Amino acid sequence: MTNLQPVRKAVIPVAGNGTRFLPATKATPKEMLTIVDRPVVQYAVDEALQAGIEQIIFVTSRNKAAIEDYFDTSPELTASLTKAGKTAQVAQLEKMLPLAGTITYTRQQAPLGLGHAVWCARELVGNEPFALLLPDMVSFGPRGCMAGLMDLYQEVGGNVFAVEECAPQDTSSYGIIGVGNRVEHGVQVTDMVEKPDPAVAPSNYYLNGRYILQPQIFDLLESQERGAGNEIQLTDSMQRLAASQPFHAHPYTGRTFDCGSKRGFIEANVAFAMLRADLGEELAQSIQQLVSERRQSAHAA
């Protein structure tokens, strides 16, 4: 599509309480829990930058200062590593430091829901389309999910998000879409339903936490209406926006780990570690050993 406004900014909401990871999240933001040796949030930032995003906007909250510190210099650590001759580590820390001014922060003063967190970024986003990445949802595949979503956006414009297939019986755990006509990089969205019963779900394609939205979403979020769970839901405003603007979905060809759940978080750790030259082989052997021990003890019981 020609004459499209470019997507330069990405919003990453990190203001949730992370209650599913208590007690760990009492003092550590859940976005700073590590997948192998990098915090969860780093994966979303890398994915956004690889897709061509120039500016990251974090919607943060109290007790999340560790995220700001993580994306800043650490003079004491650098001095101590330099003194110890650990130049490779110093170079690694410098390499991952974002360019000054490319990360900004705004605070959500109370965790009123994802829709409210997105609305908190309205002044920093301004009047242009923006990407939204839920950092708990970690993409795993040869290409980041947001890069594929950009392809769809370039093709059709409007509002787009990424989807994946879930087991048909699991639709009641997700936001599910109705599927319309195919386009080159995705499908038209005919419906968006929050957590439908499998008997009435329009498909088994669920939203996996990657979006490109037009700024008119902020006008709809402005009303601050509460939805499911008494939270201000993003899906409610997207449904209203769909009355006047097109929505398309991009089926992600990789796989997303829901690192907001314990199982997804542990699976992500195993999957990413398996890819590492320094860990993969030995870890595979350890896991096989653990699985066989578990089978033996279940058999003996």
Choice between 25 and 55, CB closer to ligand UTP: 25
Note if the bond before 142 is cis, omega within 30 degrees.
no
Distances (CA, A) of 157 to 107, 132, 161: 29, 15, 11
- Least distance from C-beta 263 to ligand UTP, angstroms? 13
Closest CA to 183 of 147, 207, 205, 153: 153
Dihedral (CA of 210, 216, 222, 226) sign: negative
- Least distance from C-beta 117 to ligand UTP, angstroms? 4
Q: Is 42 within 8 Å of 98 (Cβ atoms)?
A: no
By Cβ distance, which residue is nearest to ligand UTP? 16
- Least distance from C-beta 13 to ligand UTP, angstroms? 3
Six-digit token string for 234: 């993003």
Choice between 252 and 258, CB closer to ligand UTP: 258
Which residues are at the interface with ligand UTP (CB under 6 A)?
Answer: 13-20, 59, 108, 111-114, 116-117, 134-136, 260
- Least distance from C-beta 43 to ligand UTP, angstroms? 12
Q: Is 41 within 8 Å of 64 (Cβ atoms)?
A: no
End-to-end CA distance of the chain: 63
Residue indicated by tokens 């992600």:
252
Choice between 263 and 295, CB closer to ligand UTP: 263
Choice between 20 and 86, CB closer to ligand UTP: 20
Choice between 116 and 185, CB closer to ligand UTP: 116
Choice between 81 and 132, CB closer to ligand UTP: 132
- Least distance from C-beta 267 to ligand UTP, angstroms? 16
Dihedral (CA of 216, 222, 228, 233) sign: positive
- Least distance from C-beta 146 to ligand UTP, angstroms? 15
d(C-alpha 289, C-alpha 161), whole Å: 40
